[in-house]
Structure 1
Amino acid sequence: MGNRVAGVCYVKVDGAQLEVKGGLECPINNRKREAIVASAGVAGFKETTVVPYVKLTAIFTADFPKEKISAATDMTITAEYANGEVYTLSDAFLANESAAKGEEGEIELEFNGMRGRWQ
């Protein structure tokens, strides 16, 4: 019996499931560390907070919830990976610019939020 580690993923926005075309990305860490380099080498590191996020490519269906996604500032985004891992993003909002691409029928989305948690 094999272990499924990749494949179909599911994303829900406030309970409404989106059609995910491809990439799904969520951070596994909540802190970023960068080395502080001095003349003698690495002196230590600095630590900054990583913004919790969910990035995905969705199919731009006729019932795509574009008004809700573009206006809401307190969504709950649930991302379920093919391996069973689930990431929940709370108090989420659409970050950056998103545009529907007619040629491929897709839309790139990036949600940022106040809290991200792996379950």
Structure 2
Amino acid sequence: MAKTPIAGTVYFKVDGKQYTIAGELTAQMDNVEREGVAGLSGVAGFNEKPIVPYIEFDCYQTSDTDMDTMASVVDATVTAEFVNGKTAILSNAWFCGPREVKGSNGEFTARFEGKKGIWE
């Protein structure tokens, strides 16, 4: 039986430009959130409200990381390609600040939100 990787390597791109990931990456592609509703007679159903999908990751500020360009991103396609073959795709995505770089290791956290998130 062949072993299939579950996690580890991730490639992050904004409109095709790849960025260097330092550590964690979180992809939340849900477009709605549901919450159960119960009354005295039992469960009545659920409430549903829209939520903003996002990809957030720790990035290195390398010599080729243009933070001003990254911060100006609006209406982009943002992808996170996981080693297990799954890809998180944000459509009409924008950068969310702030940009706080840690001097001790050159890392910063970047977050992109979008109008629609899907898994492929």
Question: What is the TM-score with the length of structure 2 in the denominator?
Answer: 0.88
Alignment of 1:79-98 (within 5 A): 79-98=80-99
Mapped to 2, the partners of 1:68 and 1:75 lie a distance apart of: 12
Q: Secondary structure at the match of 2:28?
A: coil
Moved more, 23-32 or 99-108: 23-32
**Structure 1: which 5+ runs fail to align?**
none
Greater alpha carbon shift after TM alignment, 80-89 vs 36-45: 36-45
% identity of equivalent residues: 35
Question: Within 5 A, what are the aligned runs for 1:29-68?
Answer: 29-68=30-69
1:27 maps to what in 2? 28
* Mapping of residues 103-118 of structure 1, within 5 Å: 103-118=104-119
Deviations 1:58-84 (A, max 9, x none): 111121121111112112211101101
User: How many angstroms apart in 2 are the aligned matches of 1:98 and 1:53?
Assistant: 16
State the shift of 1:37 in Å. Answer: 3.4
- Unpaired runs of at least 5, structure 2: none
- Aligned-pair CA distance for 1:50: 2.2
1:74 alignment counterpart: 75
Q: 1:41 to 1:17 in 2, by over 3 A?
A: same
1:100 corresponds to which residue? Answer: 101
Question: CA 1:96–1:43 in structure 2 vs 1: closer, same or farther (change >3 Å)?
Answer: farther
1: distance between equivalents of 2:97 and 2:43?
A: 34
Contact 1:69 1:93 in 2 (8 A): no
User: Are residues 1:4 and 2:5 paired?
Assistant: yes
Query: What's the TM-score once normalised by structure 1's chain length?
Result: 0.88
Moved over 4 A (4+): none
For residues 108 and 18 of structure 2, what CA distance do their matches in structure 1 show?
Answer: 15
CA RMSD of aligned residues (A): 1.6
DSSP-derived class of the 1:32 partner: strand
Shift of 1:40: 4.0
